[in-house]
Amino acid sequence: MKVHAHPMGELMLAALLLLASIGGGLWLRHEATAVNAATETRRQELACLVGLETRAGGAVPTRFPDLGAFGSHYVGHELVWTIAPTGAYLTIRPQR
């Protein structure tokens, strides 16, 4: 069987394409990892918040979730445990 040598330009182009796709793929995977990390943080804070919502006995919680994890508009706000005659509840307040 006769084998033809490939032109140098075609080889260069193929290598370039492969490198670009590897670079792009790695960058996309890096972005996906970053998104997953942020999601995981938000999920943990959400689990804490849901745990607080199902409060029992009116005991003061030991940990409050970071509201900033739920969106930029919550930055600078905090959760406060408010005791009222009608029962304890959570309040969102600007941080002092």
83 sits near another protein (criterion: CB under 8 A): no
Q: 3-state DSSP call for residue 65?
A: coil
Binding mask 16-55 for another protein (x = CB under 8 A): -xx-xxx-xxx-xx-xxx-xx-xx--xx-xx--xx--x--
Residue 70 contacts residue 45 (beta carbons within 8 Å): yes
Q: 3-state DSSP call for residue 35?
A: helix
Task: Give the phi and the psi of residue 27 in degrees, each rounded to 5.
Answer: -65, -40
Which tokens go with 25?
Answer: 């793929």
Query: From the CB of 18, what's the least distance to another protein, in Å?
Result: 4
Please state, in angstroms and rounded to a whole number, the distance separating the CA atoms of residues 20 and 30.
Answer: 15
The residues of the shown chain that bind another protein, judged by CB under 8 A, are 1, 6, 10-11, 13-15, 17-18, 20-22, 24-26, 28-29, 31-33, 35-36, 38-39, 42-43, 45-46, 49-50, 53, 67, 69-71, 73-74, 77, 79, 82, 84-87, 89-92, 94
